[in-house]
Amino acid sequence: MFTFGFRSRQNLHHVQPDLILVVSRGLLYSPHNFAITEGLRFMPRQQKLVNAGFSRTLNSKHLFQGDGFSHAIDIVAVGDLNKDGCIDAQDKSLTWAEDIYTEIAGGIKKASRELRIKIRWGGDFKSFFDGPHFEVVYA
């Protein structure tokens, strides 16, 4: 069973509590361990990511929303990703593999359905694949 480490917990500060519930439960269902790399962002960082081509909007759900929380997180796959019993260079080469994020997203989506909290996964974006991105949706 996987658990979030100190850095992941720190990166969940100021993230909408519903999203924290979903990704925390999703970690239990995920076949791969993952860490939270980013939750709340401020505009200078968002501008930098847009300028570098890593984000396509200045209206990011990572920024403070109307309820005072960030509505988005980014993750990174970590650990024994190829399930061969050791953490090595082969696992590092899989860190950004789309299929790894698709499998992780399956666990997070399952948690979303169980908790009845709607999320959007960046891997489902029509314009580009953003596998590490998850956001809570209030419609």
Q: Band of the pLDDT at 54, cuts 50, 70, 90?
A: confident
Tokens of 64: 């403070």
| pLDDT (0 to 100) of residue 1 | 75
Q: Band of the pLDDT at 128, cuts 50, 70, 90?
A: confident
Residue 31 pLDDT exceeds 80? yes
| pLDDT (0 to 100) of residue 127 | 86
Among 3.40.190.10, 1.10.357.10, 3.30.1380.10, 3.40.50.10860, name the CATH number for the domain at 6-136.
Answer: 3.30.1380.10
* pLDDT, tens digit, 9 for 90 and up, residues 58-108: 999 999 999 999 999 999 999 999 999 999 999 999 998 999 999 999 999
| pLDDT (0 to 100) of residue 48 | 96
pTM higher than 0.85 for the full model? Answer: yes
Give the start-to-end residue ranges of the domains of the chain. 6-136
| pLDDT (0 to 100) of residue 114 | 98
Q: Band of the pLDDT at 56, cuts 50, 70, 90?
A: confident
| pLDDT (0 to 100) of residue 9 | 96
